[in-house]
Amino acid sequence: MPRPGSTIPKAPIAKIMQKTGAKRVADGAVEELVEYLINYGTKTSERAIKIAKHSGRKTVQGKDIKIAVK
């Protein structure tokens, strides 16, 4: 279940960590990764929005995200 204010549930994040080789994953590790992903996603979204606006669009497109992460 996601933390209050979080849009990313912890269970899928723990599953990703396990699929990449972690035998066990502490709640604290999952919470830290969720926080990092939210921060990274927020910053990327902000950049993508600026790119879309600069292109004269209101809709953020996949290409805006690709440019924003470079």
State residue 14 phi and psi, 5-degree precision: -60, -40
- Bigger pLDDT: 67 vs 5: 67
Instruction: Work out the percent of the chain whose per-residue pLDDT is above 90.
Output: 90
**The Cα angle at residue 66 between residues 64 and 70, in degrees rounded to 5:** 115
pLDDT of residue 21: 97
Average pLDDT estimate for 31-52: 97
Least confident of 4-8, 10-14, 36-40: 4-8
Report which of 5, 10, 69, 1 is spatially closest to residue 34, judged by C-alpha positions. Answer: 10
Average pLDDT estimate for 31-41: 96
Average pLDDT estimate for 2-15: 80
CATH of domain 10-69: 1.10.20.10
